[in-house]
Amino acid sequence: MKKWRGATSLACIKETEMKLYIEGDKSKALCSHCKGLVDTTFKYRDVPFSDGSGVVEGLLVAVCDTCDQVVATPPQSTPRIKQSRAKALKSVEASVPTTLADAVNLAAQAIDADFSQEFRKKALWLLVRGYADHPKDPVGLKAEYINSIGAFGKAKTRFSFKVSEAMLSDLKKASEVFGENQTETLKIAAFDLYHKVIEQKDKRLIAKLRDIAYMV
């Protein structure tokens, strides 16, 4: 089954069309798999989120009659998508030096002048996932962070994120790599993001972040 990013990514049916659809109804929609306009049938399907954070069970969707892929969601299904997404996300909060939070914002702004909270989260988690997947890479990073964190001052602000189960798992793995709690691991990621984007101007990381900014 084709995975999808959320309510809008497959919403080929305009929300202005407030018709109530029922199972078995017919329609037409663009199918990315068949690369064209296709006939569809409304069916109930269990549809997973693309980030692996959960599944919307028994969702009414438009299914391509040719390839059997989910291609669209009617407006009446949107509330159930939002409810399932909200249940699937976990809260992560961390108290960090205000100047460090400003440093993250500066790095994010260097990538995208109109950056969003969602982009800032994804930028941090790109690094977090790297720590989790390649535990040998950040060996010297913790020491560098410890030597530099005092320069960011004592004033505090709060990071607050909604993350998927997979993202939370990566944060836990990264925390084990550093031997720190989740707050300290996020602070290390924040320091690393600023250091690589603003100070080192890491071209590979910046290119990845620009791709993320484009998609957010």
Tell me the sheet residues that pair with 39: 28
For residue range 149-177, list pLDDT tens digits in order: 888 988 899 999 988 888 999 999 999 99
Q: Does residue 41 register a pLDDT over 80?
A: yes
Q: Does residue 8 register a pLDDT over 60?
A: no
Query: Which stretch of 4-18, 61-75, 149-163, 171-185 has the lowest confidence by average pLDDT?
Result: 4-18
Q: Does residue 75 register a pLDDT over 80?
A: yes
Between helices 117-133 and 203-215, what is the axis angle to 10°? Answer: 130
- Domain definitions of the chain by residue range: 26-87, 90-215
**CA distance linking residue 55 with residue 96, whole number of Å:** 33
pTM of the model: 0.64
Residue 158's closest CA among 192, 187, 200, 188?
A: 187
Residue 190's closest CA among 165, 214, 161, 212?
A: 161
At 113 the pLDDT is 92
Class of domain 26-87: alpha beta
Structure letter (DSSP) for residue 181: -
CA 2 to chain centre: 18
Q: Does residue 5 register a pLDDT over 70?
A: no
At 11 the pLDDT is 44
For residue range 125-149, list pLDDT tens digits in order: 999 999 999 887 777 899 999 999 8
Q: What is the CA radius of gyration of the chain?
A: 21
Residue 52 sits at φ, ψ, to 5 deg, of 75, 10
At 53 the pLDDT is 64
